[in-house]
Amino acid sequence: MVNRPIGVFDSGVGGLTVVKELIRQLPLENIVYLGDTARVPYGTKSKSTIVRFTLENILFLLKQNVKLIVIACNTSSSMALEEARNYFKIPIVDVVLPGAKEAVYATKNKRIGVIGTPATIKSRAYEREIKRLNSSIKVISKPTPLFVPLVEEGLFYSAISLKISRMYLKDFKEADIDTLVLGCTHYPLLKPLIQRVMGKNVTLIDSAEQVVYEVKELLKKEKLFNRSKKKGKHKFFVTDAPENFLKVAQHFLKEPIKNIKMVNYGL
């Protein structure tokens, strides 16, 4: 039972930032990852579609016999977490609450910026969680819809990425924030770029570490830690052909992906 894998999904490659941290902190756990690369991006689509995609992804992972699910996608976490927890028995960790917690720990001047997909920002999920933790904090949010296509294209540090970042982040520079939440698991790949634009005094929050902390707490509570002495196995599924995923995935994981398979749960 306890050697069942942890299931992780994202709309594309972004969730690998969470997988990387899972591997680092929980090297004995088996992991199954699903990247819905045929339908990426999620963040520009409507709530009903994001809920449907999220439930389909969880069903797919349940069939892989997972013991816990990480929704490593901010759009799904913001838009479909409630439905997912209402429908399914399996413990689910999201990425929004952990990111909000980290941001609240980090801010000194109580001014936090949040960037994310249009769906995530529209949901106001980060604002809600941050205000619940500390109602005196000011939150400034802005959608940055072109960051996902940039990352999916592998344009981490091109001239075009820099121009787009400067335009998107201008408002935050003027708003005197000291903490910026990267509210999309794709964005950590743009960290060097965003840090350069924002300057080194602004703390960038990537929720991966805190997500894995919550995974550990849940495994402890549910007595689900893998007791094996061997290194965990990592299996990857994608819904589009794997070539582009593999190319970009190397930048995330810094380790070769051996076990990858294309699956198709559409018509």
Q: Which is nearer to a copy of itself, 52 or 128 (CB)?
A: 52
Binding span for a copy of itself by CB under 8 A among 20-28, 38-46, 211-219, 246-254: 38-46
Among 13, 31, 80, 184, the active-site one is 184
Measure the CA–CA gap between 241 and 243, rounded to whole angstroms: 6
DSSP letters, 3-57, are: TSPEEEEESSSTTHHHHHHHHHH-TTS-EEEEE-TTT---TTS-HHHHHHHHHHH
With a CB cutoff of 8 Å and minimum separation 6, the contacts of 248 are: 13, 151, 152, 154
Task: Give min distance, CB of 185 to a copy of itself, in A.
Answer: 18
Task: Give min distance, CB of 152 to a copy of itself, in A.
Answer: 6
Site for a copy of itself in 183-202 (CB under 8 A): none
| Contact yes or no for 265/56 (Cβ under 8 A) | yes
By CB under 8 A, is residue 64 in contact with a copy of itself?
A: no
Task: Give min distance, CB of 123 to a copy of itself, in A.
Answer: 15
How many residues touch a copy of itself under the rule CB under 8 A: the total is: 35
Q: Which of 134, 188, 255 is nearest to 15 (CA)?
A: 188
Among 6, 18, 32, 73, the active-site one is 73
Q: Which of 211, 219, 176 is nearest to 100 (CA)?
A: 211
By CB under 8 A, is residue 263 in contact with a copy of itself?
A: no
Binding span for a copy of itself by CB under 8 A among 3-11, 131-139, 151-159, 226-234: 151-159
Binding span for a copy of itself by CB under 8 A among 76-84, 158-166, 185-193, 198-206: 158-166
Measure the CA–CA gap between 32 and 95, rounded to whole angstroms: 17
Task: Give min distance, CB of 93 to a copy of itself, in A.
Answer: 24
Over 161-202, what HEC string results? HHHHHHHHHHHHHHCCCCEEEEECCCHHHHHHHHHHHHCCCC
Measure the CA–CA gap between 74 and 41, rounded to whole angstroms: 12
Task: Give min distance, CB of 250 to a copy of itself, in A.
Answer: 18
Chain contacts with a copy of itself (rule: CB under 8 A): 37-39, 44-49, 52-53, 56, 59, 118, 145-146, 149-150, 152-153, 159-160, 163-164, 167, 239-241, 243-244, 262, 264-267
Known catalytic residues?
73, 184
